[in-house]
Structures are given as C-alpha cells and as structure tokens.
Amino acid sequence: MAENNMNLRKARIGDVPEIHTLVNSFATRGEMLGRSRSELYEGLRDFFVVEQDGKVLGCSALHINWEDLAEVRSLAVASDQQGKGMGKTLVNACIEEARSLGIARIYALTYRPGFFEGVGFSRVPKESLPHKVWGDCLKCPQFPNCDEDALIMELV
C-alpha cells in the first residue's frame, strides 16, 4: 500500500503514542478492548501500522496464543480514513505473517463480523475457541457477558 503516500509497515517505538490514542478512541466507545501504553510497548512486535506523512492512520496486531493459533487484535483505522481499504490491508498483513510463521489458524473477536467475513474469516461459536484465548477478556468491561462475535480462518 503506497497509494497517496500511505505505507504499511511494522510498528516502531515512536508509534506507540499514536497507536494508544487510536485503539483507545474505539475502546472508550465500547468497540474494542483498550490497551495501556505498557501493553503496547510489550507487544509492539505484534503490530503493523498504516501511516501517511509520518502519521499513524491505522493499526492491527497478530498475537500468538499457542503453536497453532493466533489472534488478529487491536484493528483500528482512524474514523475519517475508514472505507479506503486500510483495515483489509492491515488484516492481510497479519494473515501473511501468520502463514510465514506456520500458524494453522487465526481468529478475531469483534463487533464487526461482516468485515472479517469479507476477508475470509468464518463465524464460529465463541465456546469453540480454546480457553487460552480468554486471558484478555478478564480486563474487558463486558466480561463475562461478551457480545462479540468469534471468527476464525484456517491457514493450513
């Protein structure tokens, strides 16, 4: 993605303040789980960003849960930039990274299942996901009454 000076790349330390603002803007509206700066620094290598002229416009992360399972998480695109394909670009970067690492399945927990279905994920019952994926759920204000949809993509 190099259209209009937009660039997809792995996140860097200097991106954390913008990723934090972006992710937490959605979290304050109850649309995703918030992330502290500490969590973002610790998980920085999980993140991709789309930037334009040095400004982060979108982000996503591939978080490995186990030898055969990873989560696409913290997918956020600035409200005024949505509908331009950045979300799809970010998710595809996670998919390709998972494939290159040999991960068999990736999943997402989301309030926007149609978006993930559009890039090849399929809805599954939340209960079908292994228990190890629920660690972050304890931090969620919706816990234990989660109303997100679970989607999965088989890669192998």
Q: What is the pLDDT of residues 133-154, one digit of tens each?
A: 555 555 555 555 567 889 999 9
CA distance 129 to 106: 11
The pLDDT tens digits of the residues spanning 76-104 come to 999 999 999 999 999 999 999 999 999 99
Neighbouring C-beta atoms of residue 99, cutoff 10 Å? 13
Q: Which sign does the torsion angle of CA 113, 119, 123, 124 carry?
A: negative
Residue indicated by tokens 């660690």: 135
Residue 127, pLDDT above cutoff 90: no
CA distance 56 to 51: 4
Whole-model pTM: value is 0.88
Residue indicated by tokens 């803007």: 25
Q: Which amino acid is at 58?
A: G
Average pLDDT, the chain: 89
Tokens of 44: 């920085």
Higher pLDDT, 32 or 123: 123
Higher pLDDT, 3 or 124: 124
Band of pLDDT at residue 2, cut at 50, 70 and 90: very low
Residue 117, pLDDT above cutoff 60: yes
Tokens of 94: 């996670």
Structural domains in the chain plus CATH codes: 3-154 (3.40.630.30)
- Pairing verdict, β 69-77 and 105-110: parallel
